[in-house]
Amino acid sequence: MVDTTASPKRKIFISYRRADNPDFVERIRDWFAWKYGRDSVFMDFDTIPPFTPFADFIRDKVRECDLLVAIIGTDWVKSLNDRIKNSDDEDYVRTEIRLALELKKPIAPICIKKAAIPNVRDLPLDLRAMLDYNSATLDSGRHFLDNIDMILQAVEHQLERLDAWKVMAMVQNVQFDVMTAIQHYQDAADHDQWTAALDWLSRIRRSGYAPDWYPLDDYEREAKEALRLQAAAEKYHFIRSMAERAIRKPSERTRVWSALESFWQTYPGYDPDDMATQFRPMLELEEDQEDYATLVFIPVEVEEAAPFDLALLDQLDAFDESAAEDVFSPDHMAALAADLDTDPRTISLTEAEQTGILDWQN
């Protein structure tokens, strides 16, 4: 039986972890199905058609839903952290909630079986916005009916507000408002919500109303690259943890380098901490290679110049400037050069004394 007071057009997405009391979660699903109809409540274990790509189908259902119910059990945070550590195992619960937040879908967190709402430090950055929504608690026992009824009423209130917003949007936007869509894209990009940003760009492209001047292709490439870098940063974080351990335990250095090499196969060149410099293995010299560290450099011996005899300057005190032309005439200088057995050149005072150039006054 379906509650006829609820609109059948509303769609509810129930996000849960299969390790967290699946029987109790199914009981919650039954109450939502009673309220909104079974076809309007999505839960992955019984509504995915055979042979359908699981991940794509989940994302489509999140986009279609009006509200996402996030069931949080006692192992919810532990499972989240385990999936983060094992990057090869996609966490669909995280993907569901992150996408709902990016698309501004209302979130209804329900903590079951005495589980507590996660602390902000327990959540990755892309899920922390879910803490903006007040959570409800639900447990089996004599208070179950009262609590589930209160939860359903609160959800209905949220959906009524959503209906009002949709009506206003329909009145204000008979056609696709491309400028508003562009603003939504910009807001998402400014907050690094690149999945939502790419979704808005896709809507703009499908609408056919993208202005000629709008660089849609460039923005799509930018969003895809940002998503790639976000994924790289998340995986790099775990290698950073390995590096911190290797500082305390040097025997782990080889594992860090191996992880970096594997990581760079997918994200070439991504190394914001410059771990390559710290963890690249040192090259070992072969036995027949010369050990360049032992090379000896022999300095070149430079012969020191003879000191200048200052006493020679005293002999110039009585120098007669009138005789300078005779003393330093070209013929006289050439003769001096011949005595020195050299080509004509500038000579020093010592050479001048030896050749008698300073004896002109005698």
pLDDT, position 330: 64
Q: Look at residue 101 and tell me whether its pLDDT is greater than 50.
A: yes
Amino acid, res. 31: W
Give the count of beta carbons closer than 10 Å to the beta carbon of residue 193.
24
Residue with tokens 């992880």: 259
In sequence order, the β-bridge partners of residue 111 are 72, 137
Average of per-residue pLDDT across 273-297: 64
Does this model's pTM top 0.75? Answer: no
> Which range, 30-34, 163-167, 239-243, is most confident?
30-34
Per the CB < 8 A criterion, the answer to whether 128 and 93 are in contact is: no
Alpha-carbon distance of 5 to 48, in angstroms, equals 27
pLDDT, position 293: 44
DSSP E strands: which ranges in 55-168? 67-72, 107-112, 136-138
Give the DSSP per-residue string, 29-67: HHHHHHHH-GGGEE-HHHHSPTT--HHHHHHHHHHH-SE
pLDDT category at 26 given cuts 50, 70, 90 is very high
First-to-final CA distance of the chain? 141
DSSP symbol at 128? G
| Region of poorest pLDDT, from 61-70, 192-201, 216-225, 320-329 | 320-329
Domains of the chain: 12-172 (3.40.50.10140), 314-359 (no CATH)
pLDDT digits (tens, 9 = 90+) for 244-254: 888 888 888 88
pLDDT category at 357 given cuts 50, 70, 90 is low
Alpha-carbon distance of 135 to 26, in angstroms, equals 19
pLDDT digits (tens, 9 = 90+) for 148-163: 999 999 999 888 887 7
Alpha-carbon distance of 215 to 221, in angstroms, equals 10
Q: Supply the mean pLDDT for the chain.
A: 79
